[in-house]
Amino acid sequence: MFCYNRNNRSCGLFFNLFLLKEIKSNIDTKAQAFISKTEEYRNLLNDFYSKLNATTRRDNSPSVIKHTERGKLLARKRINLLIDEQTPFLELSSLAAFRQYENQFPSAGIVTGIGVIHGLETMIVANDATVKGGTYIKETVKKHIRAQEIALQNNLPCVYLVDSGGIYLPEQASIFADRFNFGRIFNNQAVLSANGIPQISVVMGSCTAGGAYVPAMSDETIIVKNQGTIFIGGPPLVKAATGEDVSAEELGGAFVHTGISGVADHLAENEIEAIRKCREIFESFQSPDRQKLNRIEVEEPKHPISELYGIAPIDLKKPIDPKELLLRIVDGSKLNEFKAEYGRTIHTSFANIEGFPVGIIANNGFLTTEASLKAAHFIELCNFRKIPILFLQNITGFIVGKKYEHEGIARAGAKLIHAVATASVPKITIVIGGSYGAGNYAMAGRAFDPNFLFMWPNAKIGVMGGEKAAGVLESINSSTDGKSLVQQFEDESSAYYSTSRIWDDGIIDPVDTRKIVALAISVSLNKQFEEPKTGIYRM
C-alpha cells in the first residue's frame, strides 16, 4: 500500500513500515567467545562507573560537607528539584577535566545538561560551589559555552543556577582573553536573546566579577535572600581599590539588587522558593514551532540491548558487523538498507529509534571511493526527506595506496565531507570504536558541528593508532622512541582523555545509546530544519 499526499507527510507512514525488514542476528550469544568478551566489557564498564561515581558523588568531600552545613543544596539536587518529576536529565561531559589539575576540578566545577521544565526541553547550567567555589578553569568555560551552543542549535531555553566566584585566578592567562574564553559566555547570551531564546538566572550564591553579567543579561533573574550576591568587584577588591569596608550583603545582596539596583527581579526566601519561582516563569513561555516527524509506535529491539557488551569493539584490529549493533538499538530490529551491495565498507539504512525515523551511517571498515559516494548520496536523501542522521563511528580512515589515489579517493572523500558539513538535518554521532584520521571528519566528528557527540568507554580517537604513528616516523628516519610514542598515542586517544577536554559531550554506557539517541532527536525537533543547501562538488 502506498499513499502520497503533498500536504500530509504522515501518509508515507505505511510505506515506511512495509520497507523496514526485521534482520536476523548471526551471533551465537551462548558461544564462549561472546561470553568472554561480554565479561571483558563489563570489567571495562565497572571501571567507567567507578570513575564517574568518584566524580559526581562526593558526599565525604570536606567542601561538600561545608556547603550542605550552610543549608545550601548541591548542584545536582537543585537540578532534580527544577525539572519535571519522573523526567530524565541528560547530563553532559560529567568527566570534564578528569585527570587534569590533580583532579581538583571534578566535572570542571559545573553541571550542564538537558531537562524538562513544564514540558519544555531546557538547557540547564549549574555552578558547583563545592569545587573551588565554583570558579572557572579552561574546561569550565568550554563546557559552559558548549551548553550554550547546544541551546542555540536546538532552540532550547536556558536556566543558569549561579553559584560562582568567577575566574580561577591562577589559570587566568588560559581563560580570559581569547575568542572562546570567558567573555564568549556573555556574547552567547546576547546571541541567544537576539534569537528569542529565553534565559533565566537563579542566583544561589556568589556571582562575582564578569560572572555578574550572567544574571544581568538574563530575561529574568531570581536571587536568594541572605545567600545570593552579585557584584562586579567583591569586598576585597573594593577595599583594595577604594579603601572602603563593605560587607558582601551591603555591596550586592538580594535586597540591594531587587530593591535598589534592579539587577534582579525576584526575591526568594530560600533555594526551594527560588526554584519554584523559576518553574512559574516557565509557565509564560510559548511552545516552540517543532519540526514534525513521522513518529510511529515504539517497538523494542528483538534482541536484548545488553548484548552490545559482547559485540562492541575492544580490540580495534578486529572488525565487527555494524548491523549486529543496530539489531540491539533500532525498533523491532528492523532496517531498510540502502545500497546494501555497493560500497560495503560502510552501512547505510533507514530505521526507527523509539519511534523516531532516523538515517544511519555506520562504519564497516575503512572508507573507499564507493563507500564515500554511497554515504554522500544517503546524506542527500536524509536532507531532502528531513530525517535526522545517526553516525556510528568505528573507522580507521580512508583507504590509501597508489591505486586508490589514481582513482580519486580524495575527490570522493571530499564529496562525503562536503555532504556532512552542509547537512541541514540534525546529526548525532556516537564513537563506538575507533575514530581515526580524516574518517573522524567524514563521520561527523566534532569539527562538523553534530548536534550531539558521545563516546562508548572503549572508544579511541586520534590522527592514527600509536603503532602506525611509530611506523611512519621510523620510515622517515625519525629519532623518536617508538615505544614511548605508542604509549603516548594510547593515552591521548582514550575516551577519558577526549571527554576530559570536552571533545565530546560525554561517555555513555552502550545500553543507554537507544534512549539517548531518541532524546537527542527529540531535542533537535525544537527548531524547524533548514532547507537543503550545498556548495560545489568536485565531479
Residue 299 has what pLDDT? 96
How far is it, in rounded angstroms, from Cα 136 to Cα 142?
A: 10
Q: What are phi and psi of 68, to 5 degrees?
A: -70, -30
Tell whether 383 is covered by a domain: yes
Say whether both 370 and 277 belong to one domain: no
Nearest alpha carbon to residue 389 among 377, 404, 402, 406: 377
Alpha-helical (H) ranges within 364-447 are: 369-385, 402-407, 409-422, 437-442
User: DSSP 3-state assignment of 126?
Assistant: strand
Say whether both 265 and 330 belong to one domain: no
Q: Per the structure, how many domains does the chain have?
A: 2
Say whether both 196 and 97 belong to one domain: yes
Tell whether 13 is covered by a domain: no
Q: Are 447 and 504 in contact (CB under 8 A)?
A: no
Neighbouring-strand partners of residue 22 = 334
Say whether both 277 and 328 belong to one domain: no
How far is it, in rounded angstroms, from Cα 354 to Cα 452?
A: 17
Angle at 260 between CA 255 and CA 261, to 5 degrees: 105
Nearest alpha carbon to residue 145 among 517, 492, 505, 421: 505
Tell whether 156 is covered by a domain: yes
DSSP state letter for 208? B
> CA 27 from chain center: how many Å?
31
Structural domain ending residue among the three candidates 225, 257, 282: 282
Tell whether 309 is covered by a domain: no
Tell whether 306 is covered by a domain: no
CA dihedral 59→61→62→66, nearest 10 degrees, is -40
How far is it, in rounded angstroms, from Cα 281 to Cα 198?
A: 10
Q: For the chain (length 539 residues), average pLDDT per consecutive 10?
A: 32 49 92 97 98 96 96 98 97 98 98 98 98 97 98 98 94 95 97 98 92 95 97 86 90 96 97 98 96 95 97 92 97 97 96 98 93 97 97 93 90 95 98 95 97 98 74 65 80 96 98 98 97 89
How far is it, in rounded angstroms, from Cα 81 to Cα 154?
A: 24
Sorted by sequence, the CB contacts under 8 Å of residue 235 that are 6+ apart come out as 245, 246, 247, 248, 251
Grid cell for residue 524: 533537535
Grid cell for residue 114: 538537558
Say whether both 277 and 331 belong to one domain: no
Question: In 6-60, which ranges are E strands?
Answer: 21-22
Grid cell for residue 29: 550469544
Distances in whole angstroms, Cα of residue 108 to Cα of each of 144, 258, 368, 453, 506:
10, 31, 40, 19, 13
Tell whether 35 is covered by a domain: no
Residue 12 has what pLDDT? 40
Q: Are 391 and 427 in contact (CB under 8 A)?
A: yes
Q: Are 11 and 289 in contact (CB under 8 A)?
A: no
Say whether both 142 and 215 belong to one domain: yes
Q: Are 146 and 112 in contact (CB under 8 A)?
A: yes
Q: Which range of residues forms the domain containing residue 175? A: 57-282
Say whether both 349 and 219 belong to one domain: no
CATH number (domain holding residue 275) = 3.90.226.10
Residue 239 has what pLDDT? 82
Distances in whole angstroms, Cα of residue 263 to Cα of each of 75, 203, 222, 257, 341:
23, 11, 10, 5, 63
> CA 516 from chain center: how many Å?
10
Say whether both 494 and 352 belong to one domain: yes
Residue with cell 577588591: 237
Q: How many CB atoms lie within 10 A of CB 237?
A: 14
Residue 472 has what pLDDT? 65
Structural domain ending residue among the three candidates 282, 303, 337: 282
How far is it, in rounded angstroms, from Cα 271 to Cα 126?
A: 13
How far is it, in rounded angstroms, from Cα 115 to Cα 151?
A: 12
Residue 18 has what pLDDT? 41
Q: What are phi and psi of 169, to 5 degrees?
A: -55, -40
How far is it, in rounded angstroms, from Cα 509 to Cα 28?
A: 22
For residue 163, give the H/E element and its range: strand 158-164
Q: Are 147 and 159 in contact (CB under 8 A)?
A: no
Tell whether 143 is covered by a domain: yes
Say whether both 278 and 330 belong to one domain: no
Say whether both 265 and 375 belong to one domain: no
Say whether both 110 and 225 belong to one domain: yes
Parallel/antiparallel/unpaired status of strands 334-337 and 21-22: antiparallel
